[in-house]
Copies of this chain bind each other. A is one copy, B any other.
Amino acid sequence: MKKLINDPQNVVAESVEGFGWAHADVVAVHLDPTYVSRAGGAVAGKVGLVSGGGSGHEPLHAGFVGLGMLDAAVPGAVFTSPTPDQIAPALLAASGGAGVLAIVKNYTGDVLNFETAVELAEADDIEVATVVVNDDVAVQDSLYTAGRRGVAGTVAVEKIAGAAAERGDNLAAVVAIAERVIANVRTMGVALSACIVPHAGVPSFELTEDEVEIGIGIHGEPGRRRVPMESADNITEHLLTPVADDLALVSGENVLLFVNGMGGTPASELYVVYRQARKLLEARGVNVTRSLVGNYVTSLEMQGVSVTVLRLDSELTALWDAPVRTAALHW
């Protein structure tokens, strides 16, 4: 294992500390317990947004803390849910008196630990609502989940619900917007290689030089099937088709097309995938009116990509376009 780390036990703390120093204009970092909050603290009268999960998916979630998106993020150990003792102070730090929305990716550990943390926060008289993101069409139940997994679509939920909170929506309205995104966003991914969790030191699974895993999860969980390596255009079709079918997209609809790198894939390849995904959507008469391409929900250094499609209406489009000032998304 060759990694730019020191003691594997300290990767998350050292990385988050460096992140805080690099982005001190946007975030404040807390190390005991570990969470990241907005520089300047909670915004009075605004619904607070909190997300979190295992580390190793950077920039998710700490990279999305800032104006127009999250108020706090909670990084667990690598590929390990954050503890309730970490999440609860983040919920408090995000509270501006108008309630807090917890955005949870659908993994059993995350869901349980957020539930416990919400109870702790509610004992402090903070109203907390929770939404669970489950955009991965690859599998119904999986190694770590009941129901579908929450993956790259989480970025859209955080961006759009964050914009709704920023414009002054109350908690119920922000929840409704988040649920509308969740109902209309779907993702599917592929892995060309595995990744190595620092404290494990060995790859989480093995792929031969000739095969890829279609439907991979963001922790390297098994997907739908292993298939021989094919052209980028064919692989993209294996990802885009189930996503578009599950959304039941019809001609004339508008969508956000989000091609997400898993960490070890060159940017040039992401745009080759984007090009084909867009051609396939246009062949269905679907209009790609917004785009996002880059490493946003990663699996350490895994080589691979996921394709996310979000059905847009005019309100979701306006909320997507609203200003955002975070370390990883900025416009």
Q: How many interface residues does chain A have, given as a range?
A: 35 or more
Contact flags A311-331 to B (C-beta < 8 A → 1, else 0) = 000000000000000000011
Q: Are A193 and B18 in contact (CB under 8 A)?
A: no
Partner of A272, one of B5, B59, B229, B274: B5
Q: A21-B291, A271-B18 are in contact. Are A266 and B56 (CB under 8 A)?
A: yes
CB distance from A262 to the nearest CB of B (A): 10
Contacts of A14 in B (CB 8 A): 271-272, 275
A174 at the interface (CB under 8 A from B): no
Contacts of A212 in B (CB 8 A): 2
Q: A14-B275, A274-B21, A301-B303 are in contact. Are A193 and B269 (CB under 8 A)?
A: no
So how many copies of this chain end up in the complex? 2
Distance in angstroms between the alpha carbons of A212 and B5 in the assembled complex? 14
A contacts, CB < 8 Å to B: 2-6, 11-12, 14-19, 21-23, 55-56, 58-59, 63, 192-193, 209, 212, 229, 231-233, 235, 263-275, 278, 288, 291, 293, 295, 298, 300-301, 303, 305, 330-331
Q: A2-B303, A11-B268, A58-B267 are in contact. List 10 more A-B contacts (CB 8 A).
A: A2-B212, A4-B232, A5-B231, A15-B268, A18-B274, A19-B293, A22-B293, A55-B268, A59-B267, A268-B300
